[in-house]
């Protein structure tokens, strides 16, 4: 018998027919014969088919086939082959890909885009080519995410001529949606929203280090999306204000030994009008109530909160019994039609994917288009800033444009002001490689602490209804949990592929009829609470320059991330509170799921590497985001955050960028 027949027989035992198609015809054959990503698996599967052929596997009764596969799993020489077989089966049967909807998704009722939805593909924004770039601008802004996009908006509205530079090539929403193998958040292969090969980093792990490149999975390289709009192009949009205490962490708590907590050089009162502007310009749907009692505000949200769902109803009732305040999460998503774009259709794959109806708000469809509409902002895509020079009369930025075309063009652009907003890893890397900054630049890298507590509820409450997280309590921020605690939210829906590859509860059969039945029935009852908490920064956690070089010959980033024991105290406190909430709503088998949200040192909320402060001995930038030791170079992203609160930071990035923009205009260099 041929190897194909042996492999098909094995696939069809991993995913047997049971009223729904078996694995081979249900999508695995197509995956095996068309995927360009399976070079790692082919030698293992080839070795496995030889073993099976020697056993006459395809001619055996199914119970004997199952017995043999179980035995091979326990054989050290064959275990890796069986692991490869399982993974390929899950990818083929349970992962959506462009134009493909395998049998596993049909079995589960997973519709990447709800039936009847009129998909909206926004028109591309107007851009300039390398040949059209002027030799000089009032300002060059590097990065189009919430920080850079906002700076372009502020400066162009004030009459300044701005060049907005984005390293990503043009990509449609369709290219960024519905691929469960390459989506940035859940990629198991080269992510569509990553920089691609030629952008190596060195990740330090204690005394060891690993080189990772931009075409490797996001869990290794880092979760920050590199797109027009940055992470806001594919986020879920949680848009929180920081608490007043988040701006005074050192004053409020002191500094645990070895840590580098610091106060912001601005407080909540000064930030409040900028938060209001950010919520308005971004378009946030929310509700004034229990979640806003400790963040005073002058006005409500521009849109009503997203409608309720079973998960919110369940946890809200539990919070009421516990005496906790709760509310709908503020989201930068249209809950009603707004700005000429429709309301959310509640698709089940919001996080990590572009919106099918353009209802998700980010810098790409708010502040950047408004900057372009002034006629004073040029948008250059597919261009990397490789060097920044500060000078008494002018700053300059060296760029390489058009790399994706295979014909890169080198440019040098002068400006009165350069604003770098490339994220907490790439911002210090660019500035350090340019010979700028002091010893504080790159230090104090921190993110958030993440905790997941899972259980099972009946009836199911979170089965493929978007956009994701829905309800939160902020009662555990700066109350009861050490070092500022954290916010607790309902766990978003988990994609089928993730569930199949790594079931989040114990006792799930590894494959076969039992696994398939659990995917269809037991999976639906899995539910959880997710905690986002303060991470205490350390001066040893930092971004430095590595020996490895990128495709332009620049040094890559060397990233080290250490964990202070105080951060683990935050985790434990959140886990205890989350478990209490789950028990209160009647969940069974409640347990914390251990393991970091990402295996990379560069998480999606990374911050602090160009922290603001008055004193250059303890900060990298001033309160206006200007890099210490320079006249014309500023930073405007989460790198500025001395501490990062205990909620998603994007709204604060945008609010602070509005503030920094005002300061730059006020003190414009002559």
Q: Residues 174, 180, 192, 420: is their CA dihedral positive or negative?
A: positive
Statement: residue 1 has pLDDT above 60: no
The pLDDT score that the predictor gives to residue 2 is: 64
What is the three-state SS of 444-504? Answer: CCECCEEEEEEEECCCCCCCCCCCCCCEEECCCECCCCHHHEEEEEECCCCCHHHHHHCCC
Summarised one tens digit per residue, pLDDT across range 459-517 is 999 989 999 999 999 999 999 999 999 999 999 999 999 999 999 999 999 999 999 99
Give the whole-angstrom CA distance, residue 334 versus residue 336. Answer: 5
- Six-digit token string for 128: 């300039």
pLDDT at 162: 98
User: Left (φ > 0), alpha (ψ -120 to 50) or beta: where does 340 sit?
Assistant: left
> Rounded mean pLDDT of 65-87?
96
Q: List, for residues 278-336, the tens digit of each pLDDT value.
A: 999 999 999 999 999 999 999 999 999 999 999 999 999 999 999 999 999 999 999 99
pLDDT band per the 50, 70, 90 thresholds, residue 670: confident
Confidence check: pLDDT of 185 > 90:
no
Instruction: Note the maximum CA span of the chain.
Output: 84
Asked if 349 and 466 touch (Cβ cutoff 8 Å), the reply is: yes
Residue 528 has pLDDT above 90, yes or no: yes
In the beta sheet, which residues pair with residue 549?
555
Answer for the pair 88, 8: CB distance below 8 angstroms, yes or no.
no
Are the C-beta atoms of 536 and 256 separated by less than 8 Å?
yes
Q: What is the pTM of this model?
A: 0.96
| Cis amide prior to 204 (ω within 30 degrees) | no
Nearest in space to 18 (alpha carbons), one of 111, 128, 103, 139: 103
Residue 332 in contact with residue 239, Cβ under 8 Å? yes
Mean pLDDT of 96-103: 92
* Mean pLDDT in residue range 248-266: 97
H/E element, 452: strand 449-456
Residue 597 — very low, low, confident or very high, per pLDDT cuts 50/70/90?
Answer: very low
The whole-number average pLDDT for the span 123-132 is 97
User: What is the fold of 137-236+358-444+604-666?
Assistant: FAD/NAD(P)-binding domain (3.50.50)
Comparing C-alpha atoms, which of 160, 2, 188, 200 is closest to residue 96? 188
- In the chain, which segments carry CATH 3.50.50.60? 137-236+358-444+604-666
- pLDDT tens, residue by residue, 109-126: 999 999 999 999 999 999
For residue 110, give the H/E element and its range. none
> What are the two backbone dihedrals, phi and then psi, of residue 187, each rounded to the nearest 5 degrees?
-65, 130
d(CA 399, CA 145): 18
- 310-322 vs 565-584: helix crossing angle, rounded to 10: 100
pLDDT of residue 83: 97
When pLDDT is averaged across residues 173-182 and rounded to a whole number, the result is 95
pLDDT over 80 (residue 187): no
User: Which tokens hold the place of 285?
Assistant: 């749907």
pLDDT band, residue 363 (cuts 50/70/90): very high
Show the DSSP H helices in 495-564 as ranges: 496-501, 512-520
- Model confidence over 387-405: pLDDT tens digits? 999 999 999 999 999 999 9
State how far the Cα of 403 lies from the Cα of 140, in Å rounded to an integer: 20
What token pair was written down for 641? 């955050």
Contact yes or no for 86/44 (Cβ under 8 A): no
How many angstroms separate the CA atoms of 344 and 350, rounded? 10
**Beta pairing partners, 238:** 331
The pLDDT, as a whole number, for residue 599 is 52
In what order do the strands lie in the sheet containing 327-328? 327-328, 471-473, 486-490, 526-533, 449-456, 588-593
Length of the chain: 670
d(CA 158, CA 146): 18
Integer Cα distance of 606 and 586 in angstroms: 35
């Amino acid at each position: 018998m041929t190897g194909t027949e042996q492999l098909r027989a094995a696939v069809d035992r991993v995913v047997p027919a049971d009223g729904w198609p078996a694995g081979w015809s249900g999508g695995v054959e197509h995956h095996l014969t068309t995927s360009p990503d399976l070079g790692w698996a082919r030698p293992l599967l080839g070795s496995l088919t030889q073993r099976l052929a020697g056993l006459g596997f395809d001619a055996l009764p199914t119970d004997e086939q199952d017995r043999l596969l179980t035995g091979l799993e326990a054989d050290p020489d064959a275990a890796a082959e069986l692991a490869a077989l399982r993974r390929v089966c899950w990818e083929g049967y349970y992962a959506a890909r462009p134009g493909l909807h395998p049998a596993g998704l049909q079995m589960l009722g997973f519709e990447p885009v709800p039936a009847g939805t009129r998909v909206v593909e926004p028109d591309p924004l107007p851009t300039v080519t390398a040949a059209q770039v002027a030799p000089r601008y009032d300002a060059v802004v590097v990065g189009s995410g919430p920080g850079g996009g906002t700076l372009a908006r502020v400066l162009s509205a004030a009459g300044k001529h701005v060049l907005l530079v984005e390293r990503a090539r043009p990509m449609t929403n369709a290219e960024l949606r519905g691929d469960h193998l390459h989506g940035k958040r859940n990629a198991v292969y080269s992510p569509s929203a990553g920089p691609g090969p030629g952008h190596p980093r060195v990740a330090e792990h204690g005394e060891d280090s690993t080189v990772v490149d931009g075409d490797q999975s996001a869990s290794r390289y880092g979760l920050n999306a590199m797109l027009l709009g940055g992470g806001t192009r594919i986020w879920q949009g949680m848009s929180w204000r920081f608490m007043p205490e988040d701006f005074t962490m050192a004053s409020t708590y002191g500094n645990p030994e070895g840590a580098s907590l610091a106060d912001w050089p601005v407080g909540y009162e000064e930030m409040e009008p900028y938060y209001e502007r950010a919520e308005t310009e971004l378009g946030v749907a929310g509700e004034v109530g229990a979640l806003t009692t400790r963040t005073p505000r002058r006005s409500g949200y521009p849109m009503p909160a997203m409608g309720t769902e079973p998960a919110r109803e369940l946890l809200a009732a539990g919070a009421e019994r516990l005496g906790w305040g709760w509310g709908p999460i503020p989201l930068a998503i249209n809950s009603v039609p707004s700005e000429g774009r429709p309301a959310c259709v509640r698709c089940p794959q919001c996080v990590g994917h572009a919106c099918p109806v353009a209802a998700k708000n980010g810098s790409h469809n708010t502040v950047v288009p408004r900057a372009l509409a002034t006629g004073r902002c040029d948008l250059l895509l597919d261009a990397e800033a490789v060097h920044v020079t500060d000078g008494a009369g002018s700053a300059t930025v060296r760029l390489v444009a058009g790399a994706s075309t295979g014909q890169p063009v080198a440019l040098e652009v002068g400006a009165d002001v350069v604003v770098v907003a490339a994220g907490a890893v790439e911002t210090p890397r660019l500035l350090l490689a340019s010979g700028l900054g002091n010893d504080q630049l790159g230090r104090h890298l921190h993110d958030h602490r993440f905790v997941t507590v899972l259980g099972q509820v009946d009836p199911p409450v979170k089965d493929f209804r978007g956009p994701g997280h829905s309800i939160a309590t902020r009662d555990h921020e700066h109350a009861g949990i050490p070092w500022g605690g954290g916010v607790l939210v309902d766990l978003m829906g988990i994609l089928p592929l993730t569930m199949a590859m790594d079931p989040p509860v114990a006792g799930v059969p590894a494959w076969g009829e039992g696994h398939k039945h659990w995917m269809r029935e037991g999976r639906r009852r899995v539910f959880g609470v997710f905690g986002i908490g303060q991470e205490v920064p350390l001066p040893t956690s930092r971004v430095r320059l590595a020996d490895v070089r990128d495709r332009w010959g620049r040094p890559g980033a060397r990233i080290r991330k250490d964990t202070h024991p105080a951060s683990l105290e935050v985790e434990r406190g959140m886990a205890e509170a989350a478990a209490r909430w789950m028990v209160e709503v009647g969940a069974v088998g409640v347990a914390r799921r251990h393991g970091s949200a990402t295996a990379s040192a560069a998480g999606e909320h990374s911050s602090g590497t160009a922290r603001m402060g008055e004193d250059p001995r303890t900060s990298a930038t001033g309160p206006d985001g200007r890099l210490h030791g320079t006249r014309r170079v500023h930073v405007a992203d989460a790198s500025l955050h001395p501490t990062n609160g205990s909620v998603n930071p994007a709204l604060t990035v945008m609010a602070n960028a509005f503030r920094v923009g005002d300061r730059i205009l006020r003190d414009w260099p002559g």
